[in-house]
Amino acid sequence: MLFVSMDVAAAARLYGWNMLWRATGARNAGRALIDALGTPDEDIQMLAGMFLVRGADKAEPLLEEALARRKHLPKVITILADIGDPKYKPEFHRFTEDPDPAVADSARDALRVLEARQEPATSN
């Protein structure tokens, strides 16, 4: 028998918050996705991150708010890098000097992601 480690009720709530946020732009629903980045359940964190990346333009103000508040920084930085807007490069550069090694590492990774996205595709 296969046991699922994800909290099914939490996942259902997250799907509901995502649907409400995407349909109406309700900031409280979007903030619930940001809050889910701090849950101990890694599957829920990943799901919240996917929803935020998919909601890119709508998610950016919420992610910027989380960045300013230093809320779930490593994950927020990673999500912003996945969204791919190079306007965050200066912020990521500043975070590479952060005293928290997880934040500094995630900022360096984010810069690498943005650089890779800007490289022209080579044809074979």
Task: State residue 117's pLDDT score.
Answer: 86
Please tell me the distance from the alpha carbon of residue 38 to that of residue 87, in angstroms, as a whole number: 25
pLDDT digits (tens, 9 = 90+) for 68-112: 999 999 999 999 999 999 999 999 999 999 999 999 999 999 999
Phi, psi of 83 (to 5 degrees): -65, -40
User: Does the residue 76 lie in any domain?
Assistant: yes
- Structural domain for 93, as ranges: 8-118
Task: State residue 14's pLDDT score.
Answer: 96
User: Does the residue 1 lie in any domain?
Assistant: no
Average pLDDT, the chain: 92
Statement: residue 124 has pLDDT above 80: no
Per cent of the chain over pLDDT 90 is 86
Q: In CATH, what number is assigned to the domain containing residue 111?
A: 1.25.10
